[in-house]
Amino acid sequence: MEWLIFALLAPLMYAISNVVDKYALEQHTLGIADYMSFASIGSLGLFIFLYASGAASGQVFDVVWPAILSGILMNGSYLLFALALTRSDSYRLMPFFLLIPVLLVLIDAVFYDAPFTSYHWAAVALAICGSVVLAIVNSPDATLKFSAGSAGFIMLVSVLLLTAGVFLMDKLADPQDTNGFVMLQCFGFFVATLFYPLYKPWRYEIVEGFKSATFPKVTTFAINDAADLFGSWLFVAAVALAPSAGFVSLALGIQPFYVIAIIYVVSKFHPSLLSERIGFKKGAQTLAGAMLITIGLLILALSPQDQNLALLSR
């Protein structure tokens, strides 16, 4: 059950990173491109460390391109997540990530002929209901809107890209070489950022961001990268060791509650650090959306069919 410990620690690290993301965007960056360029430094550093230390075995090079592609997809997901953060609060966006295991189940059913039972239909229905609630929570006028510029729509696209990255992990990550997969994933994440300067406004923003970098900014991103990368390592390790990636993603259900708890503590003791405040109505609506999706995930995890298939897959 080592994978379960990893799976529960990963969302805690992600939650810390998510709150720091909002703080970094508000306090220490010139914009999204500046934010992403600094965020990619940690990925480059971890890639260099794992490569130079020999922590990754040679077997991982059998899946070079899928691992790198996973990192590129995650870069796109993080970019859209940062954009959504500029339009909404972090605690309202976190529950969207709970859709990942539901999407993985749909992918397995469509492309791998996995059984799709009444349990799966119930989980999908609850996930859709939860998504609708979250879309309303993220709408300025409290109505259901999925326009291209809305935070809810942006998060759905972000989750789709992240799901594709997790899918590659699930099918290709080797339990014996988690470090190798993470190493190449970090390389892919960094390489994607190298294309940002091709867009002139982003190029100017990135250059100015590095020129004006201060010690607090560097420290903030160091903490953020450490939490995010450690969370990613824990998640990849859990996916590689667990019976199913869906089971690991199920543990991510606790992430929104981690985020809400962290924001509550920070706003209570250090209110100047974050602009976010958790109002009772929006907080309750967010929790309701998260709970609907989480219940759907529980149905998936507890369904007899999925348990038997998971045991057989080991």
pLDDT tens sequence across 55-111: 665 555 566 788 889 999 999 999 999 998 888 877 778 778 877 877 877 887 777
Q: Which helix (H) or strand (E) holds 301?
A: helix 280-302
Structural domain of residue 306, as residue ranges? 2-313
- Residue 157's identity, in one-letter code, is V
Reported pTM = 0.76
For the chain, residues with pLDDT lower than 50 are: 306-314
Residues 6 or more apart whose Cβ sits within 8 Å of residue 211:
none
If we measure between CA atoms, which residue out of 217, 231, 220 comes closest to residue 186?
231
Q: Are 290 and 301 in contact (CB under 8 A)?
A: no
If we measure between CA atoms, which residue out of 185, 163, 183, 184 comes closest to residue 248?
163
Other Cβ atoms less than 10 A from the Cβ of 217: the count is 18
**Residue 86 CA: distances (Å) to CA of 146, 171, 263:** 17, 33, 16
**What angle in degrees, to the nearest 10, is found between the helix axes of 280-302 and 99-111?**
40
DSSP-assigned letters across all residues of 87-123: TS-HHHHGGGGGHHHHHHHHHHHHHS-----HHHHHH
Judged by DSSP in three states, 272 sits in coil
Domain total for the chain? 1
194-203 residue pLDDT tens: 999 999 999 9
